[in-house]
């Protein structure tokens, strides 16, 4: 009480609020005024930050925590009263007429979209020391995830503008949610690379704050064990993105500017942009308020299952059930075997890849009511069977895909299923854990993430008529993967299947040992026979016809062991490196028409 005189009026209010909310222990052992006064004020500064960054402030946080902790202690099932069933959604088949139509519609809509990347997580499962968006998508070109995402958005922006004939040319907003763990390094990556070609004003970083940890079932806030003037904090989860977007005022700015869609995506899925145009086309055509992208899911795969939940009182919702909750929910509701594959070899529940497309108007309406607060959960690890104390402090968490949980039943919530090879190849698991993944389930590692790029590009070219050799089977870091020809292109070469098709003519073939890198918009493959490595770079005004027979030693793949500390981390986590033996490399930096003449 004596210390109150040290504090500003706002700080006094905060201190009183804490005491009223049963948090008096935070002030235990505070010495008399005159001792450690700056530390005391710094403590209240932290309280002010925690209070401001949570919808409804610390009072709300503590109240919610008490309720959720009581439910957890009582063993209350969050799905009480709900029965799960398999929902029906839009299932797309790559390259058919329907798909092409959705892609065209989607590309037109891109000019009215904003993109939001959630990149506040450190990726504990991967165990990589840097930020995940700085990892290479593939090692043929070394392009990192952030560069790939930015170039994909810019390519879509240009494609959209071309289709709409420049009617509404605008710079698509790109938001990155960071955290204290990733913020500075993300900013540095952008700044040292001139924002990878995006206008810096197009990019906004929103930093999520951590939330206060809880010591017991009464939601007493945990004091940092190393500093009595600090409340211990932990990440609150990717669900923070909604409250941050709301409080930043960006949603209103976008709405005023006539935008219609917000697309959310995660940090390491190098395939995602191949699926975005069609998925956005589905949203626009079906007028979905919320559209989640999904892929066929293997039972027990660490991705959530999209599930229809029907309550005893008749309410229904289509929502993600997180991977750790799906099995217990199924077992408790009559599916005796829990999370298992059906006769198709896949779980009957589509897998959530956390790519959400939300219509801006209804989104703002909803967030005006909720201030972006998302249904939370708590996951304490109890010390005793009576659940009276925790092994370590816990905190409330939230997930971005839980946004539809507060929507009224009239909201149009749907999902779109696409082939996994096209849409989903995250980099989440370290080599050791990936090697332990049950056979047939995806590894979700740096190795599989890279190989998936080559496979998707090879399969797309096959669909467009190129004769691409079958892959070889190889083992890297204990994971057996298909090695397709290493085909990569810049997003501006093609953003849709129709564009790929328009750039392939005559009879083309690519052998398994080949590497092909296309860096330019107007490169056309025409009667090309490739058996080796071919790298073409061309400015937009250079039109290049790549044909004839290209044959050389090419670029070989060499095994690397993940335990070999002499190799850079981003190389050894994928288990191979590329040895550039011989290649044909052509650069076209003048406008004009050219023919590749090997
Ligand atoms: N992230 C943040 O930005 N902030 C945070 O506080 C935490 C994470 P993980 P997770 O598609 O593969 C999700 O850890 O949470 C970012 C879905 O819940 O990679 O285990 C982080 O940087 C699950 O349903 O994944 O599982 C990253 O970009 C399933 O869809 C993103 O959030 C699964 O992803 C996801 O974080 C999947």
Position in ligand 1 atom list of the atom nearest CA 426: 12
The verdict on the CB of residue 449 being under 6 Å from ligand 1 is no
- Gap from CA of 238 to ligand 1 centroid (Å): 6
Nearest CA to ligand 1 atom 5: 237
- Gap from CA of 450 to ligand 1 centroid (Å): 19
- Strand extents, DSSP E, 360-440: 376-378, 396-398, 413-417
The reported pLDDT for the residue numbered 80 is: 87
Which are the contacts of 317, defined by CB distance < 8 A and separation ≥ 6? 308, 309, 404, 405, 407, 409, 413
Position in ligand 1 atom list of the atom nearest CA 267: 28
Best residue among 354, 374, 395, 398 to mutate for probing ligand 1's pocket (most ligand atoms within 8 Å of CB) is 354
The rounded distance, in Å, linking the Cα atoms of 442 and 481 is: 10
Q: Is the ipTM of this complex over 0.90?
A: yes
The reported pLDDT for the residue numbered 122 is: 86
62 SS3 class: helix
- Gap from CA of 266 to ligand 1 centroid (Å): 7
- Gap from CA of 589 to ligand 1 centroid (Å): 41
The reported pLDDT for the residue numbered 170 is: 82
Q: Which of 185, 182, 135 is nearest to 446 (CA)?
A: 135
- Gap from CA of 402 to ligand 1 centroid (Å): 12
The verdict on the CB of residue 444 being under 6 Å from ligand 1 is no
Three-state SS letters, 423-464: HCCECCECHHHHHCCCCCCCCCEHHHHHHHHHHHHHHHHHHC
Dihedral sign for Cα 243, 244, 249, 253, please: negative
- Gap from CA of 498 to ligand 1 centroid (Å): 32
The verdict on the CB of residue 113 being under 6 Å from ligand 1 is no
The reported pLDDT for the residue numbered 167 is: 63
Position in ligand 1 atom list of the atom nearest CA 428: 19
- Strand extents, DSSP E, 235-333: 261-265, 290-297, 305-311, 316-321
pTM: 0.95
The verdict on the CB of residue 442 being under 6 Å from ligand 1 is no
The verdict on the CB of residue 303 being under 6 Å from ligand 1 is yes
The rounded distance, in Å, linking the Cα atoms of 476 and 431 is: 9
The reported pLDDT for the residue numbered 77 is: 82
- Gap from CA of 541 to ligand 1 centroid (Å): 40
- Residue 458, token pair as written in the block: 């090879």
The verdict on the CB of residue 399 being under 6 Å from ligand 1 is yes
Best residue among 115, 117, 121, 395 to mutate for probing ligand 1's pocket (most ligand atoms within 8 Å of CB) is 121
The verdict on the CB of residue 239 being under 6 Å from ligand 1 is no
- Gap from CA of 177 to ligand 1 centroid (Å): 12
The verdict on the CB of residue 426 being under 6 Å from ligand 1 is yes
Position in ligand 1 atom list of the atom nearest CA 303: 29
- Gap from CA of 393 to ligand 1 centroid (Å): 21
Backbone angles phi, psi at 98, to 5 degrees: -60, -45
Position in ligand 1 atom list of the atom nearest CA 320: 24
Find out whether 246 and 372 touch, Cβ atoms under 8 Å.
yes
Q: Is 583 exposed, middle or buried (0-12, 13-18, 19+ CB in 10 A)?
A: middle
The rounded distance, in Å, linking the Cα atoms of 461 and 504 is: 8
312 SS3 class: coil
Find out whether 55 and 64 touch, Cβ atoms under 8 Å.
no
- Gap from CA of 77 to ligand 1 centroid (Å): 23
> Which ranges of the chain have pLDDT less than 50?
none
Nearest CA to ligand 1 atom 32: 238
Nearest CA to ligand 1 atom 11: 353
Position in ligand 1 atom list of the atom nearest CA 117: 28
The reported pLDDT for the residue numbered 402 is: 96
Q: Which of 420, 476, 451, 125 is nearest to 298 (CA)?
A: 420
**83 - beta bridge partners?**
310
The rounded distance, in Å, linking the Cα atoms of 363 and 360 is: 5
The verdict on the CB of residue 135 being under 6 Å from ligand 1 is no
Best residue among 180, 205, 238, 323 to mutate for probing ligand 1's pocket (most ligand atoms within 8 Å of CB) is 238
Measure Cα distances from 203 to 70, 123, 197, 361, 374 in Å. 42, 23, 11, 22, 25
Nearest CA to ligand 1 atom 31: 266
Report how far Cα 592 is from the mean position of its chain's Cα atoms: 40
Q: Report the b/e string of 266-298 with b at 16+ CB within 10 A.
A: bbbbbbbbbbbbbbbbbbbeeebbbbbbbbbbb
The verdict on the CB of residue 281 being under 6 Å from ligand 1 is no
Nearest CA to ligand 1 atom 21: 121
The reported pLDDT for the residue numbered 166 is: 63
């Amino acid at each position: 009480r004596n210390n109150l005189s040290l504090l500003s009026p706002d700080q006094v209010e905060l201190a009183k609020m804490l005491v009223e909310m049963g948090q008096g222990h935070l002030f235990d052992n505070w010495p008399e005024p005159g001792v450690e006064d700056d530390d005391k004020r710094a403590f209240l500064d932290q309280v002010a930050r925690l209070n401001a960054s949570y919808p409804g402030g610390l009072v709300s946080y503590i109240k919610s925590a008490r309720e959720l902790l009581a439910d957890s202690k009582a063993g209350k099932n969050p799905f009480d009263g709900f029965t799960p069933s398999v929902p029906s959604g839009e299932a797309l088949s790559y390259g058919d007429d329907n798909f092409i139509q959705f892609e065209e519609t989607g590309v037109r809509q891109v000019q009215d979209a904003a993109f939001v990347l959630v990149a506040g997580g450190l990726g504990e499962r991967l165990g990589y020391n840097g930020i995940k968006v700085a990892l290479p998508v593939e090692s043929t070109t070394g392009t990192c995830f952030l560069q790939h995402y930015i170039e994909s958005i810019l390519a879509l922006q240009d494609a959209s503008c071309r289709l709409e004939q420049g009617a509404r040319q605008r710079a698509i907003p790109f938001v990155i949610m960071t955290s204290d763990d990733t913020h500075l390094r993300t900013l540095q990556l952008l700044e040292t690379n001139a924002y990878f070609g995006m206008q810096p004003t197009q990019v906004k970083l929103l930093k999520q704050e951590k939330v206060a940890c809880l010591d017991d079932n009464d939601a007493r806030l945990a004091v940092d064990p190393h500093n009595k003037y600090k409340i211990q904090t932990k990440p609150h989860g990717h669900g923070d993105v909604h409250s941050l977007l709301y409080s930043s005022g960006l949603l209103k700015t976008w709405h005023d500017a006539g935008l219609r869609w917000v697309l959310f995506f995660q940090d390491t899925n190098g395939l995602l942009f191949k699926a975005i145009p069609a998925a956005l086309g589905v949203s626009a055509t079906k007028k979905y308020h919320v559209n989640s992208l999904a892929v066929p899911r293997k039972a027990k795969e660490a991705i959530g299952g999209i599930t229809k939940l029907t309550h005893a009182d008749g309410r229904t919702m289509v929502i993600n059930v997180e991977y750790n909750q799906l099995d217990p929910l199924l077992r408790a509701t009559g599916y005796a075997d829990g999370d298992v594959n059906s006769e198709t070899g896949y779980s009957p529940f589509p897998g959530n890849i956390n790519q959400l497309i939300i219509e801006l108007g209804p989104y703002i309406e909803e967030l005006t009511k909720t201030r972006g607060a998302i249904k939370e959960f708590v996951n304490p690890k109890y010390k005793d069977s009576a659940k009276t104390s925790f092994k370590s402090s816990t905190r409330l968490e939230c997930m971005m895909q839980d946004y539809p949980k507060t929507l009224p039943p009239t909201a149009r919530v749907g999902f779109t299923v696409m082939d996994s090879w096209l849409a989903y190849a995250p980099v989440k698991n370290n080599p050791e854990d990936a090697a332990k993944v049950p056979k047939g389930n995806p590894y979700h590692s740096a190795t599989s993430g890279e190989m998936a790029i080559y496979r998707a590009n090879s399969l797309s070219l096959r669909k467009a008529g190129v004769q691409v050799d079958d892959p070889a089977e190889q083992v890297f870091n204990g994971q057996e993967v298909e090695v397709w020809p290493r085909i990569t292109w810049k997003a501006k070469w093609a953003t849709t299947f129709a564009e790929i098709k328009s750039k392939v003519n005559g009879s083309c073939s690519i052998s398994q040992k080949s590497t092909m890198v296309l860096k330019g918009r107007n490169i056309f493959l025409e009667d090309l026979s490739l058996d080796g490595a071919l790298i073409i770079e061309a400015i937009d005004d250079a039109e290049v016809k790549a044909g004839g027979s290209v044959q050389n030693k090419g670029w070989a793949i060499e095994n690397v062991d993940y335990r070999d500390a002499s190799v850079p981390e981003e190389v050894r986590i994928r288990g191979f490196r590329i040895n550039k033996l011989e290649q044909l490399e052509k650069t076209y930096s003048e406008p004009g028409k050219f023919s590749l003449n090997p």
